[in-house]
Chains A and B, each alone.
Chain A
Amino acid sequence: GEDVEQSLFLSVREGDSSVINCTYTDSSSTYLYWYKQEPGAGLQLLTYIFSNMDMKQDQRLTVLLNKKDKHLSLRIADTQTGDSAIYFCAEKADSWGKLQFGAGTQVVVTP
């Protein structure tokens, strides 16, 4: 079955870059997403990438996709304390709507 894996924890100093990694197994995945969850809040979509792309940049966020290795990463430039949250990657096949999520990466930004 499908499986999405992420590292569970990342600590980064304010101002440095953060890189969160994700691997997935479903080769039919068409769209891959990054969601952010702050304490006590729901999930907020950060960005997504279509599977025929290998990179997408959106302000401080850069998404890299290696479809051959089924590896997705999210880079946050100039990480701020407000970036402390849990980050989920998710995959979706085009033929149905449900998202398959990873377990989430807890990012802690230290001053």
Chain B
Amino acid sequence: GAGVSQSPSNKVTEKGKDVELRCDPISGHTALYWYRQSLGQGLEFLIYFQGNSAPDKSGLPSDRFSAERTGGSVSTLTIQRTQQEDSAVYLCASSLEDRGQETQYFGPGTRLLVL
């Protein structure tokens, strides 16, 4: 079946604008994760959703970042008033559940460049 997909694959925006990044997880996966990969910071956890539970937002770097997951499937990560330091690759992953050794399958990422 299809893997995790993300859109857009690339996004260039001006400082101060809002952006929305989309993630379509693997069908049937209840857990969905967002990570950010930037130069000098490696891969950092942002937020994750598990079923109907409240999301774990502990990794969001500021209140300009928010995410939602509609209908337990598609997720959107929104960055308001983008800053140049937001430039990074935003990776989404999904897994059957969040516990045990359940493998997280990653999408190809959205490359965000803030000018």
Interface residues of A (CB under 8 A from B): 31, 35, 41-45, 48, 50, 88, 90, 94-104
Contact = CB atoms under 8 A, between A and B. Distances in A.
B42 to A, nearest CB: 4
Interface residues of B, number: 28
7 contacts: A42-B106, A90-B43, A97-B31, A97-B48, A98-B33, A101-B42, A104-B42
Contacts of A31: 100-101
Nearest to A88: B43
Contacts of A45: 103-105
B72 interface: no
B37 to A, nearest CB: 9
B109 A42 contact: yes
Interface in B37-52: 42-45, 48, 50
